[in-house]
Chains A and B, each alone.
Chain A
Amino acid sequence: MNLPRLGSRDFLKAVRPFAGLFVVLLLFALDGELRSVIFQGGNFKTILTQTVIVAIGAMGMTMVIVSGGIDLSAGSVVALCSVVTAKLIEQGHSFAAVLLLTVLAGGLVGLANGGIITAFRMMPFIVTLGMMGIARGISKWLANNQTVNPEQPLESVNSLMDNSQSPLTFFPLPDGVWLALGLAVVMAVVLRSTVFGRYVFAIGSNEDTARLCGIRVNANKVAIYALAGAFFGLAGVMQFSRLTQGDPSVAIGLELQIIAAVVIGGASLSGGAGSIPGSVIGAFMMACLANGSSIKDWPNYMQEIIIGVVIILAVGMDKVEPMLQRYFRRGK
């Protein structure tokens, strides 16, 4: 993939999420009530912190969707991993061990997803729908159907998503925000420039061609789902940090928010298109909309309607542009 030329269709597609975000912020700036609150450092920090969980999930989901798949178990895995984090902290593990083992737990769920999908040639939608129930059930079982509050809190984990220090200024940002930003940069390079990343796009564009070109499609798919699971695991750690407790019934419907972020970011559910920066911007845009709505004191349902409209607009642009192009070409 080469950098798209200025003004080309690819270029338009790549900048669309940024343009969308710009439009949203512009609308906020036009509103006097919002302008005075939303662009304050402290509030912006809150938005960023609220973006972290969806953004980290979206990094994993982007890979899955670009490869032509889908993972509906993301929300359940986040809940499961928040419980796993709580349990590990209860057992007195160190920060590094908690992080690593939780991520591993998420990765194992992803491995199971990928393994079943490839071994039995099943639809990813069905397999991960099943896994959504299984992971949710296991997390409730593991937590005895109640929240898990470690008696000895692990400060380093709790502070990952803690934006309560100096609530009025932008800096210092919580560690979780830095971690998400760093991962976004790494994953953007992985998906765009590594051989593995190219294979992900190839598989999503046309699996038969990928096979013809000697790409080990099944092995790569298992790796993609496992890696995505690991990201959901990390999002689970963040989820724990946000509530400072493991909650087996948290993050219901989170997978749909994550998918929405990826789609707003320019990915196609039929595979072969999408980018990490786009998905992260998509997650950020949704957090902005939520934040703006709550400042305006709009009820929750307004938020839901607005985000729904944004999703349809984001994807609709994809269809409208070629239609317009065809129309003008025929006009000539």
Chain B
Amino acid sequence: MIKVENLSKSFGPKRAVDGISFEVGKGEVLGFLGPNGAGKSTTMRMITGFIPPSSGTVSVCGLDVLEHPIEVKRRIGYLPEAAPSYTDMSVLSFLKFAAAMRGLRGEGRRGAIRRVVELCHLESVLGQTIDTLSKGFRHRTCLAQALIHDPEVLILDEPTDGLDPNQKHEVRTLIRRMGESKAIIFSTHILEEVEAACTRAIIIDRGRIVANGTPQELKARSTSGRLEDFFRSITRSDIVAEAAA
């Protein structure tokens, strides 16, 4: 459902993403791993059509992102990094807006809002201004926005960032459950999350894919059998990278 070919992005002289290719099919949950600044968010922004690639192609459900941007955006639910939202709005009016933008009207809209409010546990804060909410609630409000049109493809940039352990567990379970019928990419720093929710993981470092496989395969490639050790053996921390430069 998602096909990325030779995707690259340069910001001036800096190559943020350097020739990445991968595919995600229906029923797959792809974990996107990598150190900070590896190019995870940039890749996701190119898939969602927020920024254009410098070269390479992205297609979603067989549609090229650059040629059919609106059609592609219609099929994707996207949770950007740091989960932005219109903080002056109430949760309900924000979700109403998101639903209207997705072309939902009347009973369809009411049903969609009811569904995501239940999924993301927002019943208690519906009338509250987003400004006044805790980080966990803000995060789930933005997640609810991404799910409102029940998209075929979900792109989630650090969906568990800033959540407490219980909420993290809940979101992971949600991702795994939705993954049965959708194609999902999510990025994370937390390696145990990959084991808990992914069918496959990609590790990227300095804009390139350095590993691609099931969590079990990746673990097996480390001498200690731990994902963390494998991760550390193939990626460089930014401190080391800077010293080398």
Q: Do A and B bind each other?
A: no
